[in-house]
Amino acid sequence: MNIRRVGIIANMGKQNAVKESVKLGAWLLERGISVVYEEELAPKVAGLESATSERMGDMVDMIVAFGGDGTLLKTARAVQGHDVPIMGVNLGSFGFMTVVNLHEIYDAMELALKGDCRTSKRMMLDASVNGGHLSALNDVVINRGNLSRMVNLETFVDEKYLTTFKADGLIISTPTGSTAYSLSAGGPIVFPEMDAVIITPICPHTLSNRPIVIPPESAIKIVLYTREEGATVTADGQDSILMKSGDTVTIVKAEHGVRLFDSSERDYMEVLRGKLGWGGLP
């Protein structure tokens, strides 16, 4: 991978995000690498090239996203369909996808510029409801929100009836998202480079309702039934569409995924142990 131009995106609400972005940009320019700043960040660095995060996919060879997992999720959706690897730099206290810590950024960039940094392909999901479209790297969630009653979610896999979940909602997750909301609802951890889809009910009324892992090629259709106003379909906890009783959401594996840089310091098992507080060898 020949990297000659790097895009930089930052969560402006994170402490030190601007300072660290500008510092990395200067470091790259000293090495003859062109830098493109995301438009919101660009005013802090006068005179340098800028673009929207959506346009960056056509302009750069890699993207560095300063923030947390939320920043990386937003970036992934913006560049979906472009084979541009994303390096997530963790400025917060918890992150499964932003695997590069701030003190490791320059060592990681040295490896990336030499072509010695490994990347992994991650599948994404596409959801369609009411003529609207959502993309997700982590998950698509149907949630009753502030409604007082649980909802009925009639669920089909490849047009075959699976079950009707009576629950607070339903999480349709990728392996990347298996350590996010799905995990907190009792879903399994799935290695992120696998292709699979996880269906996890949220607080199901029936104790026999359990998470299920299905093939990635399967199409999931979910029909909402509720006595109240409706529910919300949300992608990665960020983009949402309202549903009403009788509406159907269809979820499939997206045609295009995204590439993420892996940590050069830790393998996935070490990341799991660190993030989940598991013990090491005795």
Which residues are annotated as catalytic? 69
Q: Write out the two tokens for 222.
A: 């979910």
* Cβ neighbours of residue 28 closer than 8 Å, sequence gap 6 or more: 6, 34, 35, 109
Question: N- to C-terminal Cα distance for the chain?
Answer: 40
DSSP assignment, residue 159? T
Buried b (16+ CB within 10 A) or exposed e, 6-17: bbbbbbeebeeb
C-alpha torsion angle, residues 255, 53, 110, 271 (rounded to 10): -60
On whether the CB atoms of residues 10 and 66 are closer than 8 A, the answer is yes
Q: Label the pairing between strands 160-167 and 151-157.
A: antiparallel
